[in-house]
Chain A
């Protein structure tokens, strides 16, 4: 089966600055693929190239089998795009916004518009001015706009920035529902927990795609050492000592404990060293690697 998105050596330079640096990946039908990276790492630039909004400096890409630069019109009619800014007219009502974008896609069927509103949970709020709505609602309307023409592929660019956790969770439930219906989704985020929801995650940094795999595989292949959670007192002093310890790859403060990633350094070795340095150790437990660990390990 041909991939929904296929990217080969895609590159974009702005002067001397390389925003996207020879990236390669594929996305298949029905997948939810996350694109994780800090601001300015090239996530949005990649999406803009795939939508034909920016011309690649090098490499090539196809979306739904169409060339991103030569056939961007064909692509745009078939994909949905939700930008970071929630591009809605805040002096129009919910229904007016959706009716307008529907009309632009050639959809004038009132039932279809109503159905889309229901899908994103805004039924009953048709005549609310969007400037009076919460960010969570605006986010859902923005998704509705991206969905009104029933696209096969959705690009979501940081769709949950500024949205409260409950609304974020509800939003992801909706994303799963869409994916089950056969929609392929490429979503960028800088929230680690959100990346965990994706079937596959690409990790972006400084224009480079460092890795792309399922969260589980990423954790297994990138974090080869052990993760320890060290509860000790005083924590800051413990951090200093463990950072200098041979075999310890990384130590980080995590609220009331330290997260230690180490190669071939056991629980006892940690315990002994800390005790020798007069640190009171309450307990040391084995922890699970997270995507944050993966990201920090890759970023080094």
Chain B
């Protein structure tokens, strides 16, 4: 086989393995990210601390509070005696929501027009909206129960039911575990960031040291230089993918429903995008810091405009349009569909095509620019 190419790959591997700290980082960072995002980036709201001002102090008011207690969305953390106390608790963040039951609650409940006040800390919209819908659900259920009891007491056997019932079934991630949504994202981000940063810095380092110039005056062809330089990072990135998949699967219980072979092949296609971005950054940057910064500048929009954290559907049209320029967007659709839904290639055709197009064009542009800078 080609002696120049083999020499290049072997040299690159020696350098990677010699720098133990960087190697450790390459291997450990993905796992760290996975644990960090798997546990912290969660929208699953539980145990919201609730303050209660029960001015009624009746059997009826206690029944309502029991209903709150029964749902694990809330935890009755404080029982207070004045509205002023509620204000203090919510202001300090000790309570995120409060229920005020007026003195005439039992009386008005009998008349059929009871009211309770529900106060919510809206500074964190995610948990506030969960709390709000939970509070509404609990009240509705409680009302239905009171009506049923009342009818049965009056001798009627009629069961009170709302006219329309929604029966929900959640597919693919029935327990709606955020980690299952996050892990595929982490794989995408890691592949992108590691491939791009390592490629960019290692190419720029050669330029800084003048070894690129020395290489150009040897018979090595530019494609051999590029492939030899990138191949080790393809292998490392491939290893990272397997690593994150394995930990995601066995630790976080993330399902792998699709074809594993297809997942790995498409991951490599995406990896090539990252390598291309890195190579491109290396042709712009003069120092390793500049290269790192250039990659970071593409990484942040990628993360925010790819549906990594925030759903694309919720974005303004302009940003949604921009998201089509983020290769990570397509990879996330692909990897989430393959892992969670277990679909086949036919269901993700568009994204596979778009991602491949990005990979090929970015890599071609980068390779051409790299060559041009050599001459």
Which of A's residues lie within 8 Å of B, judged by CB?
Answer: 51, 53, 55, 73, 76-77, 79, 81, 83-92, 96, 99-106, 108, 145
- Give the docked Cα–Cα distance between A73 and B4 (Å): 15
**Residue in B closest to A96 when the chains form the complex, CB atoms:** B14
* Cβ distance A141 to chain B, nearest Cβ, rounded Å: 12
* Cβ distance A218 to chain B, nearest Cβ, rounded Å: 30
Asked whether A76 lies within 8 Å of B217 as measured between CB atoms, the reply is yes
Asked whether A91 lies within 8 Å of B18 as measured between CB atoms, the reply is yes
Q: Which residues of B contact A79 (CB under 8 A)?
A: 217
Asked whether A104 lies within 8 Å of B7 as measured between CB atoms, the reply is yes
Asked whether A76 lies within 8 Å of B219 as measured between CB atoms, the reply is yes
How many chain B residues touch A (CB < 8 A): the figure is: 23
Asked whether B210 lies within 8 Å of A77 as measured between CB atoms, the reply is no
Q: Would you list 9 pairs from A and B whose C-beta atoms are within 8 A, ordered by A residue?
A: A85-B209, A85-B210, A88-B209, A92-B15, A101-B214, A103-B3, A103-B4, A104-B8, A104-B220
**Residue in B closest to A78 when the chains form the complex, CB atoms:** B219
Cβ contact of A145, chosen from B11, B214, B375, cutoff 8 A: B214
Asked whether A104 lies within 8 Å of B219 as measured between CB atoms, the reply is yes
Q: Which residues of A contact B209 (CB under 8 A)?
A: 85, 87-90
Q: Which residues of B contact A106 (CB under 8 A)?
A: 3-4, 219
Contacts A103-B4, A103-B7, A106-B3 given: A81-B14 contact, CB under 8 Å?
Answer: no
Q: Which residues of A contact B218 (CB under 8 A)?
A: 76-77, 101, 104-105
Cβ contact of A96, chosen from B11, B211, B216, cutoff 8 A: B11
**Residue in B closest to A77 when the chains form the complex, CB atoms:** B219
Asked whether A83 lies within 8 Å of B214 as measured between CB atoms, the reply is yes
Contacts A104-B218, A104-B219, A106-B4 given: A92-B213 contact, CB under 8 Å?
Answer: no
**Residue in B closest to A55 when the chains form the complex, CB atoms:** B375
Cβ contact of A104, chosen from B210, B215, B375, cutoff 8 A: B215
Does B10 lie at the interface of the complex (its beta carbon under 8 Å from any beta carbon of A)?
yes
Asked whether A83 lies within 8 Å of B210 as measured between CB atoms, the reply is yes
Q: Which residues of A contact B346 (CB under 8 A)?
A: none
Contacts A92-B15, A96-B14 given: A83-B213 contact, CB under 8 Å?
Answer: yes
**Residue in A closest to B215 when the chains form the complex, CB atoms:** A104
* Cβ distance A119 to chain B, nearest Cβ, rounded Å: 19
Asked whether A89 lies within 8 Å of B4 as measured between CB atoms, the reply is no
**Residue in B closest to A89 when the chains form the complex, CB atoms:** B211
* Cβ distance A146 to chain B, nearest Cβ, rounded Å: 9
- Give the docked Cα–Cα distance between A84 and B213 (Å): 11
Cβ contact of B11, chosen from A53, A55, A92, cutoff 8 A: A92
For the residues of A in contact with B, the DSSP-based class is: loop
The 7 closest A-B pairs by CB, nearest first: A103-B7, A85-B210, A87-B214, A87-B210, A100-B11, A87-B211, A81-B217
Cβ contact of B6, chosen from A85, A90, A103, cutoff 8 A: A103
Does B175 lie at the interface of the complex (its beta carbon under 8 Å from any beta carbon of A)?
no
- Give the docked Cα–Cα distance between A162 and B89 (Å): 71
Does B19 lie at the interface of the complex (its beta carbon under 8 Å from any beta carbon of A)?
yes
Q: Which residues of B contact A76 (CB under 8 A)?
A: 216-219
**Residue in A closest to B8 when the chains form the complex, CB atoms:** A104
Q: Which of B211, B216, B217, B218 has the most CB of A within 10 A?
A: B217
- Give the docked Cα–Cα distance between A85 and B213 (Å): 10
Q: Which residues of A contact B210 (CB under 8 A)?
A: 83-87
Asked whether A89 lies within 8 Å of B15 as measured between CB atoms, the reply is yes
Asked whether B217 lies within 8 Å of A53 as measured between CB atoms, the reply is yes
Asked whether A87 lies within 8 Å of B213 as measured between CB atoms, the reply is yes
* Cβ distance B336 to chain A, nearest Cβ, rounded Å: 39
* Cβ distance B210 to chain A, nearest Cβ, rounded Å: 3
Asked whether B10 lies within 8 Å of A108 as measured between CB atoms, the reply is no
* Cβ distance A57 to chain B, nearest Cβ, rounded Å: 15
CB-CB contacts below 8 Å: B207-264 with A: 209-211, 213-220
* Cβ distance A100 to chain B, nearest Cβ, rounded Å: 4
Q: Which residues of A contact B211 (CB under 8 A)?
A: 87-89
Q: Which residues of B contact A96 (CB under 8 A)?
A: 11, 14
Q: Apart from A79-B217, A91-B19, what are 15 other A-B pairs with CB-CB below 8 Å?
A: A53-B217, A76-B217, A83-B213, A84-B210, A85-B213, A87-B210, A87-B214, A89-B11, A92-B14, A99-B7, A100-B11, A103-B4, A103-B7, A104-B219, A106-B219
Q: Which residues of B contact A85 (CB under 8 A)?
A: 209-210, 213
Q: Which residues of B contact A86 (CB under 8 A)?
A: 210
- Give the docked Cα–Cα distance between A86 and B4 (Å): 21
Contacts A91-B18, A92-B15, A106-B4 given: A73-B219 contact, CB under 8 Å?
Answer: yes
Q: Which residues of B contact A51 (CB under 8 A)?
A: 217
**Residue in B closest to A105 when the chains form the complex, CB atoms:** B218
Q: Which residues of A contact B10 (CB under 8 A)?
A: 100, 103
Asked whether B216 lies within 8 Å of A105 as measured between CB atoms, the reply is no
Q: Which residues of A contact B219 (CB under 8 A)?
A: 73, 76-77, 104-106
* Cβ distance B282 to chain A, nearest Cβ, rounded Å: 17
Q: Which residues of B contact A87 (CB under 8 A)?
A: 209-211, 213-214
- Give the docked Cα–Cα distance between A188 and B70 (Å): 87
